[in-house]
Amino acid sequence: MLGRGELEVVARGLIDRDGRTDAEVQNLESIGVAVLDWAEVENLLVCEGAVRDVALALHLEAQPVLDKVKERVLKLLATDIDRVAAELAGRDLDRKVREWPWKHQNGAHD
């Protein structure tokens, strides 16, 4: 029981998906770390719900704003597609290398 004036603090985590597997997400969630559906937290800034809410808060028609944001994001992606593809492939490769069992079953090294 907490004493007078004391607060109970419970730490929680929230991270982006960042290419994590379903098993990794489940493991993180089992220890209290919530994982977003987006690969990058910055994608929250261009998700349809957020854009719609901001447009409405600014008293703008949502659909034209959504269309403009979508057009801009796709244009930026098209100009940077090689870099984006290389980064995604690099993440996958890095993850596979970290998962590699470097030791033989008997504990000997190559």
Residue 96: its pLDDT value, please? 83
Residue 8 has pLDDT above 70, yes or no: yes
Q: Kindly state the average pLDDT of the residues 84-96.
A: 86
Residue 83 has pLDDT above 70, yes or no: yes
Provide the residue ranges of all domains of the chain, joining segments of one domain with +.
Answer: 13-46, 48-100
Residue 102 has pLDDT above 80, yes or no: no
Hunting for tokens 């493991």 — which residue is that?
Answer: 27
- Using one digit for the tens of pLDDT, what is the confidence trace for 26-63? 999 999 899 988 888 788 888 899 999 999 999 999 99
